[in-house]
């Protein structure tokens, strides 16, 4: 299915609803043909149709890491620093493209949401080091292997 420029805002509204939390359309975003969503914590998701609406370009923009609690112990500060080191830094973007032409003729909002959930939203917490790098998949595979090994041992 193709997405037209007119359907971008409608799709963005559906995505904001699906993402839940505090996601809304960014009222201060430029009128550049793209949809811009923003979360109350500063994370941002944007997308625009390209190639006549057959493909959608998606990108996320990192936000500032939350501040550590006042009076944090050295261990808490070290944990905060380690977490901040793997986050997508403020102002940095991570991009991806997805085709909207599928055999099942899926709605664009479903395709975009799947790409966000599988490939872009995890990049806020585990920034990729290079194109195609998906560190959250490695984490999942390692946890799955550990659980499988634990089950086999019992």
Range of the domain at 64: 5-153
Average pLDDT over residues 128-154: 71
Q: How many domains does the chain have?
A: 1
Is 0.75 surpassed by the pTM of this model?
A: no
The 3-state secondary structure of the chain, one letter per residue: CCCCHHHHHHHHHHHHHHHCCCCEECCCCCCCCCEEEECCCCCEEEEEEEHHHCEEEEEEECCCCCCCCCCCCHHHHHHHHHHHHHCCCCCCEEEEEEECCCCCCCCHHHHHHHHHHHHHHHHHCCCCCCCCCCHHHHHHHHHHHHHHHHHHHC
The pLDDT of residue 58 is above 90: yes
- CATH number at 133 reads 3.30.1460
The pLDDT value given to residue 46 = 92
Share of the chain above pLDDT 90, in %: 8
pLDDT digits (tens, 9 = 90+) for 21-52: 789 988 888 778 889 999 988 889 999 998 88
pLDDT digits (tens, 9 = 90+) for 96-110: 888 888 888 888 888
């Amino acid at each position: 299915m193709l997405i037209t420029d007119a359907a971008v805002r409608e799709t963005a509204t559906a995505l904001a609803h699906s993402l839940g939390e505090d996601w809304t359309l960014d009222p201060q975003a430029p009128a550049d043909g793209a949809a811009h969503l923003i979360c109350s914590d500063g994370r941002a998701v944007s997308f625009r149709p390209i190639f006549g609406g057959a493909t959608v370009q998606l990108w996320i923009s990192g936000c500032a890491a939350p501040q550590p609690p006042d009076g944090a112990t050295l261990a808490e500060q070290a944990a905060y620093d380690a977490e901040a080191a793997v986050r997508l830094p403020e102002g940095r973007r991570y991009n991806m493209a997805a085709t909207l032409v599928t055999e099942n003729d899926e709605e664009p909002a479903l395709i975009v949401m799947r790409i966000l959930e599988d490939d872009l939203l995890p990049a806020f917490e585990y920034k990729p080091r290079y194109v195609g790098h998906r560190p959250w998949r490695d984490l999942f595979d390692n946890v799955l292997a550990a659980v499988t090994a634990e089950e086999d041992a019992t």
